Structure 1
Amino acid sequence: MREFSLVVARIAWIALAVAVLAGSGVAWTTYHDLDTGLRRSRAIPEDAPRSADGLNVLLMGLTTRRDLDGNPPPDEVLEMLHAGDVDRGGYNANTLMLVHIPDDGSPATAMSVPRDNYAVLHGVEGSPREKIKEAYGRAKEDEERRLVAEGGHDAAELEWLGREAGRRAQVATVREFLGVPVDAFAELSLTGFYHLAEALHGVDVCLNAATADREFSGADFPAGRQRLDAAQALAFVRQRHGLRHGDLDRTRRQQAFLKAVLLRVREQGPAALGPVVDVAKRNVVLSEGWDVLDAARRVTGVRFTTLPITGTPEADGREAMHTAVGITLGRLIAPKPSTTASKPAPTSPSPPPPADGIPCVD
């Protein structure tokens, strides 16, 4: 089993933190306020394939700096993001993670899908084979061109309808690429992550060595355990330049951040999530009909892993990915004893977490 391996980015922790919220005795009125205040998307149609053995939730972290109505953040916030101008990065889904919550009460499995996998982009004009992260933004652009030609839509409506097309395309693309249903999803933007980290007033992380990337992410950290403010937290989960394994080390950073958030909430109780509620309502989108509280009550624990990078612009990597997903779910959720040697899961071992629960990463 691989704990604290790769995964998660801007959005994963807020969805999983609901599990902590639900299990910490938070008043129903507090949860109800959060649940009813979040925007809901109809990007997953009622007749979409559904899981037979649990619930699959897709967590999406977008590169966009714009809010849900398409407005840019204030200049002072944009400066703190250290991520270039407001439209840099477009609407790529740079973070994609599928969380499987089984019906049998065993721990959930959170599987990161690397953004550089090549896949057929379902819901995008021409169904091109491109990096899987591009489905959202490409579909959004297609839909907005159609709506502008149609006429009669204001800017906020164009933004929402375009993003609904992006969500449909990203969900469909991930579903077909992984070969498993997607029952629900949650979405958060780059700016949304910053505001949520800000609401938590600091999170502890640990680094194996000092590292810096002042040009791209703004990262500049000493070795050892340290508390990050919102801007530092964003730099921490965004940095890939200067790291030996690039994007893979970045996903380890994101995983470590998620673990730190969950530990902090457990230690401090519901009060740690109180300031997050209003921020979440302005930045998080959930799929229509998803009962987050019910899902949270079913989570007995979470095991983290990452899937491999497969496929090229010329070659289809779905078969290899389907195999990897099957191995991951089989080994992490319902491992069975075997008398014969088996192929290792598509992840490498990682050291056990330290006693305080916060893993040190590169």
Structure 2
Amino acid sequence: MDTSTEPARPIPEDTAPVPGKRRRWPRVILAVLAAFLLAVLAGAGWLYHRTDQALSGIDRIPDALPTLPEEEQPVRAPEAADAQVYLLVGLDAKDTPASGESPDGTPVWQAGAARSDTMMLLQIAADRNSASLVSLPRDTWTEVPGHGEAKLNAAYSWGGPSLMVETVQNLTGIRVDHLAVIDWTGFRALTDAVGGVTLDGERLDGEAALEYVRERKSLPEGDLDRTRRQQNFLRALLSQTLSAGTLTDPGRLTALLDTLGDVISVDDQLSNGDLRDLAWELRSVRASDIAFMNAPVAGTGTAGGQSVVFLDEEAAAPLWQAMREDTMAAFLATDRAPDTLGETVR
């Protein structure tokens, strides 16, 4: 047997391994990955800090929910336990903040000082995949606890947020979990912060948007058309806010966060953590997943020497039931559902 060995062939110079080269690549990759993760974490930390600042800037309204015994509160169906209902109260506050203290240190809400301009019930489905928003006419003739029959918006004037919530609960039989007070004037800055909104094909800045949601005298159905305009504006603003151009633009995102406290006040039961959790749970919801509508109206007339709106109680009953039972998606597919907001609004 030939036991001779073939001499080792020299390795070409251009293919010879460089000492330590293969060992350096893992270190380079790890360094790049670490730098990337640090950048992501820094960005996440900045966003968390800015978000927390913005949420802390939102005024909390003390004693905003009625302190009624549990047996006197509306009952929610067990299957809807995880659904949430917010009462959105709109104020055209101008120079008056929605809660906290006025510049001279006195409480902002004072009996008889202002009536709520808008009332909307926002029902968020338990699966957090959809929501429904129902506007209640401000001139709805109803029973205000402790005051007899009156216009719905008088409740805020007479008893502040808690009486407003109690009145709406009695009117609809729906348990309100939280309250949010919207300052329509503040939405001017919010509209500008997201770069304006497009309504019915026209791009509006903050000032034009404010005029849009305030107008009612020139509209055929007055306040009913105004509520549709307000819903249309909220839908457009939500679409614009959730667009990639807003959420990925640091300047716009910062401006958006900075204006939150000028626009919205919430009840003091809502913590920053609660608001963050809700935002995360609704991260997949888009404007198209929200159904906007007015409560069914039987007509207008006169009561107590005032021009008022009468709700259609028979038509409204299945709507309130669907909100209580968290079956709005199925209800809206029936012929008993009220008309939802169309693509074109007067």
Report TM bin, short chain: 0.5 to 0.7
In structure 1, the partner of 2:161 is 167
In structure 2, the partner of 1:360 is 344
In structure 1, the partner of 2:96 is 67
**Is residue 2:256 matched to residue 1:276?**
yes
Per the TM alignment, residue 31 of structure 1 is displaced from its structure 2 partner at its CA by 2.1
Q: How big is each residue's C-alpha offset from its partner over 1:182-202, in whole Å with a ceiling of 9 and x where there is no partner?
A: 000111224323333343342
CA gap of 1:130–1:306, structure 2 versus 1, over 3 A, is same
Percentage identity across paired residues of the two chains: 28
| Secondary structure of 1:93's aligned partner | coil
In structure 1, the partner of 2:295 is 307
| Secondary structure of 1:292's aligned partner | helix
Contact 2:117 2:153 in 1 (8 A): yes
Per the TM alignment, residue 30 of structure 1 is displaced from its structure 2 partner at its CA by 2.5
The one-letter code matched in structure 2 to 1:205 is L
**Is residue 2:295 matched to residue 1:296?**
no
| Structure 2: tracts of 5 or more residues without a match | 1-43, 105-111
CA gap of 1:254–1:350, structure 2 versus 1, over 3 A, is closer
| Secondary structure of 1:262's aligned partner | helix
1: CA distance between counterparts of 2:221 and 2:235?
21
| Secondary structure of 2:242's aligned partner | helix
Higher RCO (Cα < 8 Å, 6 or more apart): 1
Q: How big is each residue's C-alpha offset from its partner over 1:98-139, in whole Å with a ceiling of 9 and x where there is no partner?
A: 1111223441111111112112223xxx42211111111122
Please list, as runs of the form range in 1=range in 2, the aligned pairs for 1:1-362 lying within 5 A after superposition: 27-41=47-61, 42-44=63-65, 49=73, 51=76, 52=78, 53=80, 54-68=83-97, 69-70=101-102, 90-122=113-145, 126-139=146-159, 166-206=160-200, 225-267=201-243, 268-270=245-247, 271=249, 272-290=252-270, 291-299=274-282, 300=285, 301-309=289-297, 313=303, 319-320=313-314, 321-326=316-321, 333-335=328-330, 344-345=336-337, 347-348=338-339, 351=342, 359-362=343-346
Contact 2:215 2:226 in 1 (8 A): yes
Contact 1:96 1:112 in 2 (8 A): yes
The one-letter code matched in structure 1 to 2:158 is R
| Structure 1: tracts of 5 or more residues without a match | 1-24, 73-88, 140-165, 207-224, 352-358
In structure 2, the partner of 1:78 is none
| Secondary structure of 1:182's aligned partner | coil
2: CA distance between counterparts of 1:336 and 1:65?
38
Contact 1:109 1:332 in 2 (8 A): no
Contact 1:56 1:101 in 2 (8 A): yes
CA gap of 1:324–1:266, structure 2 versus 1, over 3 A, is closer
2: CA distance between counterparts of 1:317 and 1:244?
19
| Secondary structure of 2:278's aligned partner | helix
Give the length in aligned residue pairs. 265
The one-letter code matched in structure 1 to 2:64 is A
Larger Rg: 2
Q: How big is each residue's C-alpha offset from its partner over 1:15-36, in whole Å with a ceiling of 9 and x where there is no partner?
A: xxxxxxxxxx893223222222
Per the TM alignment, residue 167 of structure 1 is displaced from its structure 2 partner at its CA by 0.8
Contact 2:194 2:240 in 1 (8 A): no
The one-letter code matched in structure 1 to 2:293 is T
More deviation, 249-258/293-302? 293-302
1: CA distance between counterparts of 2:269 and 2:113?
28
Contact 2:322 2:331 in 1 (8 A): no
1: CA distance between counterparts of 2:310 and 2:344?
36
More deviation, 298-307/48-57? 48-57
2: CA distance between counterparts of 1:278 and 1:310?
42
Contact 1:203 1:260 in 2 (8 A): yes
Q: CA RMSD in A?
A: 3.4
CA gap of 1:333–1:317, structure 2 versus 1, over 3 A, is closer
2: CA distance between counterparts of 1:361 and 1:294?
33
2: CA distance between counterparts of 1:114 and 1:294?
31
Per the TM alignment, residue 297 of structure 1 is displaced from its structure 2 partner at its CA by 3.0
* TM-score between both structures, scaled by the size of structure 2: 0.66
2: CA distance between counterparts of 1:266 and 1:294?
17
